[in-house]
């Protein structure tokens, strides 16, 4: 009597084991593929969100610069008016 199982039993066990291993590899492969797809989708959404935020920030900066430019134009106009009202040669205190 042999201490090893019969050849058919060993081959059958190896076939079952190989089938289980192949099935597990397929499951892991599908899980990995799904995870990568989700990660890719998350990265795309995050990139879009950052791009939208940057565009919004640029619009806010442009609006603020437009306000500053308007105020500077007003100040420049007022300064020009003030300078136009001043005499060409200022009088000293002794001449008055």
DSSP-assigned states of every residue in 49-94 = HHHHHHHHHHHHHHHHHHHHHHHHHHHHHHHHHHHHHS-SSPPPTT
SS3 3: coil
Helix/strand number for the chain, H first, E second: 1, 0
User: Is 95 a residue whose pLDDT tops 80?
Assistant: no
> If you search the block for the tokens 């008016």, which residue do you land on?
81
- pLDDT value of residue 89: 75
Residue 27 CA to residue 58 CA, distance in Å, equals 46
Q: What is the pTM of this model?
A: 0.55
- Residue that wins the pLDDT comparison between 5 and 64: 64
């Amino acid at each position: 009597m042999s201490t090893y199982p019969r050849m058919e039993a060993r081959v059958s066990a190896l076939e079952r084991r190989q089938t289980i291993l192949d099935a597990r590899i397929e499951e892991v492969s599908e899980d990995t593929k799904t995870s990568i797809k989700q990660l890719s989708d998350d990265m795309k959404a995050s990139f879009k969100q950052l791009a939208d935020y940057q565009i919004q920030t640029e619009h806010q900066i442009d609006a603020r610069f437009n306000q500053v430019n308007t105020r500077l134009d007003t100040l420049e106009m007022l300064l020009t008016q003030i300078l136009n009202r001043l005499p060409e040669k200022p009088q000293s205190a002794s001449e008055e």
